[in-house]
Amino acid sequence: MLRERLRGLIQSGSPGLPAAGEPGIVPAPVRASRPEDFVSRHSNGLDQFFSYIKGESALSILDLAGVNQANVSFITNLGHRIYSEDFLRSLQLADNGDALPRVDTFLSQNLTHADGAFDGVLVWDVLEYLSAPLLAATVERLHRIVKPGSYLLAVFQAHEKAQSVPQYSFRIQDSKTLLVADRGLRKPEQIFNNRSLEKLFQEFESLKFFLARDKLREVIVRR
Amino acid sequence: MSTAPIRTAPESESGKGAASIGKSVTVKGQIFSREDLIVDGEIEGAIELNDHRLTVGPNGRVRAGIKAREIVVLGTIDGNVEALDKIDIRKDAKLVGDIKTARIIIEDGAYFKGSIDIVKNEQPKPAQPRPQAAAATATYAPVPNSAVK
């Protein structure tokens, strides 16, 4: 009974975003990626992201998809500080099996940074797996913790009707190239199109979309 | 359980090998070590091994600020970490805190939440011999008497 009541509290949230799959904010676990799973792909979004910070040093970059050697090495070799949060894994850890984590409770322990703390955020595909209320709260928090004029890179599936889509692991190979591994199919909490993404990031200054042949939509968002 | 600062003897006195804190041991306080240290128990406080290696074993749970030459993490650390040379975070490790180090190795699967600052240790350059100062001999060359017309 308590779990159902909490589920109802968590599900009530921002209108206008279609939901897909089962409700709830706890994502299903996916398999770990092996080195041989990674495929190299050119990334216009990544290219834009790093071109915007080219020539700068000692920036603070937030990576929301957890730590990996490639991303840490690349960003620190540019002379920047990297801050890592494994947002989806933290959600899994917050699920103690008895009650779903509330949005406000979860965000009181995650993404707790000062306003304007970051000069850039690598969101990757994290936002696709958040329920509507957590998604709205997370985007609002990102708006607050990123410096004005800074950029976010997010990746979304372009399959607007798919019930299950691959969840990816992203590794930076160089400023224009990503190594991407398919970690298994997963039901996204949201399916986005350009219009819904514009609405999602309506508090930000601008969006730029890049659609690739592998049906991944890369979005550069300017704060 | 101990609350007093724990100091390990230097390696030359205690012999080879590292000191260790077993998994049934809990320490609350400060630990200063002049030899390598392996932690498989619980530590709460601060750990300092400036010239040595700290290994947090798979059963180790450390809620402390850590400063060491090298840190290997197989267990859990909750605290800021400074590794003068290198930090190695293994796949089942969990580290929450900020890291400052010259080098970092992270295995896939490790859980980390915090910032990473890479601080390169600059080796002091050997002193270069100063060039011999030119002998200060003042010479006076008479200026040619240019005709002024």
Report the pLDDT averaged over residues B21-27: 96
Residues on chain A touching B112 (C-beta within 8 angstroms): 66-67, 84, 86
Nearest CA in chain B to A112: B114
User: Cα separation of A107 and A113, whole Å?
Assistant: 10
Given a cut of 70, is residue A58 above it in pLDDT? yes
Burial letters A148-160, b for 16+ CB under 10 A, else e: eebbbbbbbbbee
Percent with pLDDT over 90 in chain B: 66
Report the pLDDT averaged over residues B118-136: 60
Residues on chain B touching A83 (C-beta within 8 angstroms): 114-116
B120 against A80, higher pLDDT: A80
Report the pLDDT averaged over residues A38-62: 93
Place of tokens 């009974």: A1
pLDDT at A102: 83
Q: Is B21 among the domain residues?
A: yes
* A-interface mutation test, from B88, B89, B103, B112, most A Cβ less than 10 A away: B112
CB–CB contact A68 B105 (8 Å):
no
Give the domain extent around B71.
Answer: 6-118
**Element at B71 (helix H, strand E):** strand B61-73
Q: With an 8 Å Cβ cutoff, is B65 touching chain A?
A: no
Given a cut of 60, is residue B5 above it in pLDDT? yes
Given a cut of 80, is residue A17 above it in pLDDT? no
User: Cα separation of A86 and A124, whole Å?
Assistant: 11
Give the pLDDT band of residue A37 (cuts 50, 70, 90). Answer: confident
Residues 6-45 of chain A whose Cβ lies under 8 A from any Cβ of chain B: 32-33
Tens digit of each residue's pLDDT (9 = 90 or more) over B32-58: 999 999 999 999 999 999 899 999 999
Provide the domain count of chain B: 1
pLDDT at A162: 67
Pick from A66, A82, A89: CB nearest B116: A82
User: Cα separation of A155 and B141, whole Å?
Assistant: 77
C-alpha neighbours within 13 Å on the C-beta side of residue A172:
27
Report the pLDDT averaged over residues B87-114: 96
Residues on chain B touching A62 (C-beta within 8 angstroms): none
Given a cut of 60, is residue B109 above it in pLDDT? yes
Q: Which of A4-8, A22-26, A162-166 reaches the highest mean pLDDT?
A: A162-166
Average pLDDT of chain A is 82
Give the pLDDT band of residue A213 (cuts 50, 70, 90). Answer: confident
Q: Compute the nearest-CA separation of A193 from chain B (Å).
A: 31
Give the pLDDT band of residue B17 (cuts 50, 70, 90). Answer: confident
Tens digit of each residue's pLDDT (9 = 90 or more) over A128-181: 888 899 999 999 999 999 999 999 999 998 876 667 777 889 999 999 999 998
Q: Is B62 among the domain residues?
A: yes
pLDDT at B126: 55
Tens digit of each residue's pLDDT (9 = 90 or more) over A65-108: 999 999 999 999 999 999 999 998 888 877 765 555 688 888 99
Q: Which of A193-202, B96-105, B115-124 reaches the highest mean pLDDT?
A: B96-105
Residues on chain A touching B107 (C-beta within 8 angstroms): 69
Pick from B105, B108, B114: CB nearest A84: B114
* B-interface mutation test, from A67, A72, A92, A118, most B Cβ less than 10 A away: A67
Q: With an 8 Å Cβ cutoff, is B111 touching chain A?
A: yes
* A-interface mutation test, from B77, B87, B96, B108, most A Cβ less than 10 A away: B108
Domain ranges across chain A: 2-222
Contact A167, A184 (CB under 8 A): yes
Contact B29, B3 (CB under 8 A): yes
Task: Name the 3-class secondary structure at B63.
Answer: strand
Q: Compute the nearest-CA separation of B80 from chain A (Å).
A: 13
Q: With an 8 Å Cβ cutoff, is A83 touching chain B?
A: yes
Average pLDDT of chain B is 82
CB–CB contact A90 B113 (8 Å):
yes
pLDDT at A100: 58
Nearest CA in chain A to B88: A69
Identify the CATH class of A2-222: alpha beta
Q: Compute the nearest-CA separation of B70 from chain A (Å).
A: 18
User: How many angstroms separate the Cα of A183 from the Cα of each of A30, A90, A111, A144?
Assistant: 6, 17, 24, 31
Pick from B111, B114, B117: CB nearest A89: B111
Residues on chain B touching A120 (C-beta within 8 angstroms): none
Global pTM? 0.79
Contact B64, B81 (CB under 8 A): no
Report the pLDDT averaged over residues A187-215: 88
pLDDT at B129: 55
